[in-house]
Structure 1
Amino acid sequence: MKGQKRGDRDRKEVRRGYKAQLRNLQIRLVSLQRQLIANNLQILVLFEGRDAAGKDGTIKRIVQHLSPRETRVVALGKPSDRDTASWYFQRWVPHLPSEGEMVLFNRSWYNRAGVERVMGYCTDREYRRFMVSVVPFEQMLVNSGIQILKYYLDIDRGEQERRLEDRRRDPLKQWKVSPVDEVALAHWDEYSQARNEMFARSHTEQVPWTVVRANNKKQARLNVIRHLLRAVACPESGHHAEKPDPAIVFPYDGRELLSGRIAP
């Protein structure tokens, strides 16, 4: 009984510590947003990753206390017939940030390099065209003044299985369950291969990929915010921000695929 009470106290202490850190970081995000508005900056943050990797929760903590007028979350659904008959990037262009805005994409044009590629929702020709076009497209956005941050939330296979099962059991998470979720584990290796090719062909010095080890959701959220606070190019934006834990958030490097730091 005493051991159980001690364990409950420890868990409460951990939760209190997490909430205190999160609040401090969210205060800094509000301060950062003031600078973004004052300097007319355009910030675009892309979130990709395995199904159930924690993209929704991370985005929620980032935007929770920001001004909704200057902050938008974009999570596009299934493309319409018109979308499929148009230039691939066209459906995202209207959602790009204007001056003073921060826009967060919960999945992005990299759907073509991941889900669409693995599930056969695009042709080989469409996939190859995307891979040739994505770097010049992002370069064009950067040249127009948009700052792009790209995060890939990475979890291991066992953690994905546990989270997907939790979704199926929890009545409050039923909206998250999709046909793609149901086959995510069965296509684990194909998703790994697609991810690796995406990294290799779209990681550039100007618009790099940042990998987030997200098995621990709370630590992933805190460290993504720390990284974002330091990565945005804005007067005084990261001068007083904490450094993210390099064991959790780090720039993509192909050698990490061999070391096991990125889930195989």
Structure 2
Amino acid sequence: MKIINLDQTDYKKLDAKSYELEKRRLRIEFLKLQEDVIKNNRRICIVFEGRDTAGKSTAIRFFSEYLMPKHFNYIQLGIPTKWESSHWFQRWKKVIPNKGQISFLDRSWYTRAITEPIMGYCTENQYRVFMKKVNNWEEELISDGIELTKFYFSLSKDQQKIRMKARKNSELKYWKLTKNDEKVITKWNAFTLYKEQMFEKTGTEVSPWVSINSNNKMIARLTSLRYLLNKTEYHGKKILKPAKWSKSLNNYSTNLEGIKFDNLSYEQFMVISKYSDDI
């Protein structure tokens, strides 16, 4: 299993001014990356998975707000047709980015790994076939030139309840809460089980999962974008170390030879991560 955990839970040092400064810094770098993608006909695909209210859609807006619109795509597919359900990978192959494009997937082919089997939207056999074939399919995408990043936005059960309640009581967002969402809340443990199975079987060396603590949406957006920029090469790149407020947080974590190291400072994390199982 290959999973990179970016889990920061102490956000007291992040004030509104620090957030705005960091957001601007990262967005300038992301625009450089987009220019490099366009110039060199690169194809970047960014998957956003996670439970309802985890902040996937708002993170995508955060990433893309100042990008050149003609050169990125926001993908959110609806309910699959009968044919699409039976030809799962072909359905998603259609939305893989063309040359010079960045695609943001607000949920992806991994709905078949979690939501569909839990909610009864696919058969057991369809689930098993997907889990058996998905790693090879992603390797083919990568071999074809796709630069794939898979984010999983994780939040606590209590935080999800708070956000669901806020959504229900909002005069502007009430319509986002569906009967299906209410059913999902009652299946928390099942979602956890299938999520862990997904991580175990589909987090690979060439295509790891990047788990983002999204209990605080602001830090989740900064953390995920900074990760993407640091792992991706592009012209004019600046290495993006966390700002001072983030460096002082002693809650980085990583794995080394099967042993998890928690509550690391930034400096400790950078030393151990050179040899880490997670990098």
- TM-score bucket (shorter structure): 0.7 to 0.9
Of 93-102 and 195-204, more deviation after overlay is shown by 93-102
Give, in whole Å, the separation in 2 of the partners of 1:192 and 1:41: 35
8 Å contact from structure 1 (residues 47, 153) kept in 2: yes
1:255 is displaced (CA, Å) by 7.2
Instruction: Say what the alpha-carbon RMSD is for the aligned residues.
Output: 2.4
**Deviation by residue 1:176-211 (Cα, 9 ceiling, x = unmatched):** 212221122210000000000000000000000000
Give, in whole Å, the separation in 1 of the partners of 2:253 and 2:151: 9
Matched, 1:108 2:125: no
Give, in whole Å, the separation in 2 of the partners of 1:182 and 1:254: 37
Higher relative contact order, structure no. (Cα contacts within 8 Å, ≥ 6 residues apart):
2
Name 2:84's counterpart in structure 1.
Answer: 83
SS at match of 1:69: helix
Of 13-22 and 43-52, more deviation after overlay is shown by 13-22
SS at match of 1:151: strand
Give the 3 Å change call, closer, same or farther, for CA 70–197 of structure 1 in structure 2.
same
8 Å contact from structure 1 (residues 41, 99) kept in 2: yes
Kindly provide the amino acid, as one letter, of the partner of residue 112 in structure 2.
Answer: R
SS at match of 2:57: helix
**Deviation by residue 1:33-64 (Cα, 9 ceiling, x = unmatched):** 11111121110000001111010111100000
SS at match of 2:15: helix
8 Å contact from structure 1 (residues 227, 243) kept in 2: no
1:247 is displaced (CA, Å) by 4.5
Kindly provide the amino acid, as one letter, of the partner of residue 80 in structure 1.
Answer: T
Give, in whole Å, the separation in 2 of the partners of 1:66 and 1:142: 24
Give the 3 Å change call, closer, same or farther, for CA 185–254 of structure 1 in structure 2.
farther
Name 2:232's counterpart in structure 1.
Answer: 232
Give, in whole Å, the separation in 1 of the partners of 2:175 and 2:24: 28
1:142 is displaced (CA, Å) by 0.3
SS at match of 1:184: helix
Give the 3 Å change call, closer, same or farther, for CA 33–249 of structure 1 in structure 2.
farther
Give, in whole Å, the separation in 1 of the partners of 2:99 and 2:253: 28
Give, in whole Å, the separation in 1 of the partners of 2:121 and 2:102: 30
Give, in whole Å, the separation in 2 of the partners of 1:38 and 1:241: 22
SS at match of 1:148: strand
Give the 3 Å change call, closer, same or farther, for CA 186–254 of structure 1 in structure 2.
farther
Name 2:131's counterpart in structure 1.
Answer: 131
Name 2:204's counterpart in structure 1.
Answer: 204
Kindly provide the amino acid, as one letter, of the partner of residue 222 in structure 1.
Answer: L
1:175 is displaced (CA, Å) by 3.5
**Deviation by residue 1:142-180 (Cα, 9 ceiling, x = unmatched):** 000001000000001100110011111112113421222
Name 1:4's counterpart in structure 2.
Answer: none
Name 1:21's counterpart in structure 2.
Answer: 22
For residues 92-241 of structure 1, the aligned pairs below 5 Å read 92-237=92-237, 239-241=238-240
Q: Which runs of 4+ in 1 moved over 3 A?
A: 233-237, 243-251, 253-256
Give, in whole Å, the separation in 2 of the partners of 1:109 and 1:50: 15
TM-score, scaled to structure 1: 0.85
Number of residue equivalences: 243
Q: Which runs of 5+ in 2 are unaligned?
A: 1-11, 263-279
Give, in whole Å, the separation in 2 of the partners of 1:25 and 1:201: 32
Name 2:46's counterpart in structure 1.
Answer: 45
Matched, 1:69 2:51: no
SS at match of 1:221: helix
Give, in whole Å, the separation in 2 of the partners of 1:212 and 1:78: 26
**Deviation by residue 1:189-239 (Cα, 9 ceiling, x = unmatched):** 0000000000000000000000001101100011111011112243454x4
SS at match of 2:70: coil
1:16 is displaced (CA, Å) by 2.3
